Amino acid sequence: MTNDASIGQSAAESTKAAKALFVQASPERLLEFLNRQDDLDRVELLEFTPVTDGAGASNGIALFRIAHDVDGGRVEQDLVLRYMPGVQLLRQKSYADEFATVSALWHAGLPVPRPLWLDADGSILGCAGYVMERVDGRSPDAGMFVSGLLAEASDDDRRSMMLAAAGFHGRLRQLAIGPDAVPHLVDRGHGDTAVQRELDWWLTEARMAADTTDAKLAYVEQIRDWMVTHEPPLRPATLTHGDAQIANVMFRDGQIAAVVDWELSYLGHNEADLALILFLTQAHGAQAPGLGGVPSAADLVERYELEAGGPAEHLEYFTLLNFVKVLSIYLMLGDKMPNLDEVWAFHVDIVDAALAAAAAATEKVS
């Protein structure tokens, strides 16, 4: 019988299958790339360690240390290479766009790894990618309450970290980083509104991976059509993370050290990130009944609203947007998910319930 645990296992197996096809970055080409940077002098590569687990299925990660000259002395620096590993799950992904997004966040004073040097086309590195500073911290496991940081934390620390993660997305809304700061995201997707453009971006990914006659694709398109027809009045779109799972938050001493993985960022509405946090907290909570310190949905919304400086809007509607993304990813994984039909059927029941909730909320405010 399919449940959240079996879905998590299936996703983990799909990620493992994708990572098995990764092409590792070349330390020799990385060193050449670093020595071409104007702000580095006499670079020596001291350590180079590709990350083979824990990361997602769409990026290669390598941790490395360099020594270089600064003001007549020799210093060492810990850095991270994020790169395209040969197999690109997201066909529209742009490392140049991601680099520009993280640069905007860095300059806005938000906790992100400082982006340093970009090779947009991979002409030097041999693969598109960029280098950023390494942050001292630890991320929760994707399986939130089963293993890793959140599972090991005290009840008080677990609650504090989860509320801080929800609060970050409220703070991002309050800052209202708009098109002027991230102009590279203006043309992400096509449509008359921010919601339509984001839906188009994901449907484009799904259509490139799935057969156009696939009933699963038709189902996702039906959800998209409903969302376009019933889009509520919305405030102007601003920078939104796009993948707000808590595994993308690094903590140090219980405080947020950095928020990472901005490849799915877009100009939209941060309630979509909050809605994902609410759904994942509920779904993963079923795997660890009785675990203390897990904030309620009301607690998470309250913290978000406190940081946002205003009420969360249209959560039921934005929950549907997240499901369009999830189902599109399943279509993109295709034959890498041997139990796709079972997982899909499980999600259809959830999505149908979410659609009914969104329809009821829409009727209530109309």
Q: Give the CATH number of the domain where residue 227 resides.
A: 3.90.1200.10
The pLDDT score that the predictor gives to residue 338 is: 85
CA 356 to the chain's CA centroid: 26
Residues 325, 184 share a domain: yes
Alpha-carbon span 283 to 336, nearest angstrom: 23
Residues 157, 70 share a domain: no
Residues 170, 112 share a domain: no
Residues 46, 161 share a domain: no
Asked whether residue 141 is domain-assigned, the answer is no
CA distances from 14 to 2, 17, 194 (A): 16, 5, 30
CA distances from 147 to 195, 288, 291 (A): 35, 10, 12
Residues 113, 229 share a domain: no
Which of 104, 133, 162 terminates a domain? The answer is: 133
DSSP H or E stretch at residue 315: helix 315-333
Residues 338, 193 share a domain: yes
Alpha-carbon span 347 to 353, nearest angstrom: 10
Asked whether residue 143 is domain-assigned, the answer is no
Residues 128, 163 share a domain: no
Asked whether residue 140 is domain-assigned, the answer is no
Residues 160, 97 share a domain: no
Residues 299, 185 share a domain: yes
Residues 304, 191 share a domain: yes
At which residue do the structure tokens 């946090």 appear?
Answer: 277
Burial category of 242 from C-beta neighbours within 10 Å (exposed 0-12, middle 13-18, buried 19 and up): buried
Residues 164, 92 share a domain: no
**The domain spanning residue 37 has which CATH number?**
3.30.200.20
Domain count for the chain, please give it. 2
Residues 186, 113 share a domain: no
Asked whether residue 138 is domain-assigned, the answer is no
Asked whether residue 144 is domain-assigned, the answer is no
Asked whether residue 206 is domain-assigned, the answer is yes
Answer positive or negative: Cα dihedral of 229, 313, 234, 207: negative
CA distances from 55 to 42, 129, 138, 284, 366 (A): 31, 15, 13, 19, 43
Asked whether residue 59 is domain-assigned, the answer is yes
The pLDDT score that the predictor gives to residue 278 is: 98
pTM flag (> 0.85): yes
The pLDDT score that the predictor gives to residue 362 is: 87
Q: Which residues of the chain have pLDDT under 50?
A: 1-2, 5-9, 11-12, 55
DSSP 192: S
Asked whether residue 327 is domain-assigned, the answer is yes
Which of 133, 165, 186 terminates a domain? The answer is: 133
Domain span holding position 74: 4-133
The pLDDT score that the predictor gives to residue 7 is: 47
The pLDDT score that the predictor gives to residue 1 is: 42
